[in-house]
Amino acid sequence: MKTVNVVAAIICDDYKKKTKIFATQRGYGDFKDGWEFPGGKIEVGETPEEALVREIREELGTEIEVHELIDVIDYDYETCHLHMNCYWATVTGGEIKLLEHEAAKWLERSTLWSVDWLPADLSLIPKIGEKMIDKNVEYYDENADSFFEGSVGADMSQSRDKFVSYLPKNARVLDAGCGSGRDSKAFLDLGFDVISFDASKEMCKRASEYIGREVRNMRFEDMSFANEFDGIWASATLLHVPMTELPGIMKKMNEALNNGGIMYASFKYGDGTKMRGERKFSDFNEETVVPLFENAGFRILSNEVGNDNRPGRESEMWVEVIATKATF
């Protein structure tokens, strides 16, 4: 099989603090409409770095600085073996223009999986994601102390009691995005077997100390549980998952539950994607939240709108849903 030597540029917004990367959609050939990282073939006499600078100039009409090698991908397509050197890069001059591709997007860490990547490029995504910064998570890392103090004392007992009323004795509960650990501690005090996780390393540290046991540092997309829990508690956590990613995450939640398992989730009341300060939120109301659950295989048991429990924020509204894993 013929080997084709190519280079690819993973163009980021900032080399030291990567929050976005640039993806392009093919407008021609066998893989038309597939998403990839821009680049192309290495010509005779070129180094990979020289080839990448030339290819980006030809494809995007801009100048780049090539940084470190991320990985070398070897992938067998039907017609050739692709040997692809993949480099971090940043734009140094000129406005990006789509001279060959039909579309392009800047993707954040949370939206890396939102496009239909070509197979060779897809294999690089996990490694890229590890090096990128999620602004929402960064916010909680930087404000961990104030967020812990502001949330650990919030009275969620009414919502917890309603959730608990559906659970069996000695239930196994997943606190998905546990924040301060407030609710994990309450469930532990009830004698439940609790697994807690959060995407923020700093919040994990504080929650671990508060509840006296390990809180896992992981993200929703890292979940791989299958039929393991009687209940999932996702209080004010899924609201940071982008709208395009939520259906997939909800299916992961469903898969993590035992048959007939119970899930609680809350979202800020509203409709669509909203920016509040530095953070991005996915808002729902009592109507728009229904298909989110039902399409993921849940049957809704309770769907209510209520006020924020934190002092001084009583005017803020939330939609709270309790649902069960549907059995067919």
Domain extents for the chain?
3-133, 138-325
Closest of 241, 194, 191, 196 to residue 216, by C-alpha: 196
Contact 118, 43 (CB under 8 A): no
Burial zone of 325 (CB within 10 Å; 0-12 exposed, 13-18 middle, 19+ buried): buried
Region 315-320: mean pLDDT is: 89
Average pLDDT, the chain: 93
92-149 residue pLDDT tens: 999 999 999 999 999 988 889 889 999 999 999 989 988 887 888 888 999 999 999 9
328: pLDDT confidence band, cut at 50, 70 and 90?
low
CATH architecture of 3-133: Alpha-Beta Complex (3.90)
**What confidence score (pLDDT) does residue 310 get?**
66
Burial zone of 229 (CB within 10 Å; 0-12 exposed, 13-18 middle, 19+ buried): buried
3-state secondary structure of 151: helix
* Cα–Cα dist 94/90, whole Å: 12
The total of other beta-carbon atoms located within 10 Å of residue 267's CB is 24
Q: Is pLDDT above 90 for 308?
A: no
**What confidence score (pLDDT) does residue 256 get?**
98
Percentage of residues of the chain with pLDDT beyond 70: 98
| Comparison of pLDDT for 159 and 30, the residue scoring more | 159
167-196 residue pLDDT tens: 999 999 999 999 999 999 999 999 999 999
**What confidence score (pLDDT) does residue 34 get?**
95
Region 260-280: mean pLDDT is: 91
**What confidence score (pLDDT) does residue 292 get?**
97
**What confidence score (pLDDT) does residue 314 get?**
67
Contacts of 224 (CB under 8 A, 6+ apart): none
> What does CATH list as the number for 138-325?
3.40.50.150
Q: Is pLDDT above 80 for 52?
A: yes
* Cα–Cα dist 317/12, whole Å: 37
Region 204-211: mean pLDDT is: 98
220: pLDDT confidence band, cut at 50, 70 and 90?
very high
**Domains 3-133 and 138-325 alike in fold:** no
228-253 residue pLDDT tens: 999 999 999 999 988 888 999 999 99
Please give the model's pTM, rounded to 2 decimal places: 0.70
Region 196-222: mean pLDDT is: 95
For the chain, give the number of residues. Answer: 328
